Structure 1
Amino acid sequence: MLRIDPDLHAALERWAADDLRSINGQIEFVLKEALRAAGRLKDRPTDPYRSSDDDDDG
């Protein structure tokens, strides 16, 4: 369970819907992008049979 501000949750829900993701998938996407931008997450080797959206939860 994650406790976040209701307005933040609603904004994430709208963004997730726009990107055809679940809220959990959207949160994971945002966190991964932030970690990559900060240089704290190395990219995995690319698998040609797996799209980048396969990591999402919906």
Structure 2
Amino acid sequence: MTMNSHLEALKKKHHDMDEAIEAAQRAPGVDGLEVATMKKQKMRLKEEITRLSR
């Protein structure tokens, strides 16, 4: 896997995670801890994207 394809895959995961978080926040009865965990995963993806983009 090339660096560019890896970055694109990470960006897609980040985007998908963003959509999943938004959907979870709109759903009734969603566990706040689950949303917080998803947000942490999204932040790790963003950090990895930033690190690799330098």
Q: TM-score, normalised by structure 2?
A: 0.41
Which structure has the highest helix share of the two?
A: 2
* Greater RCO, CA 8 A, separation 6+: 2
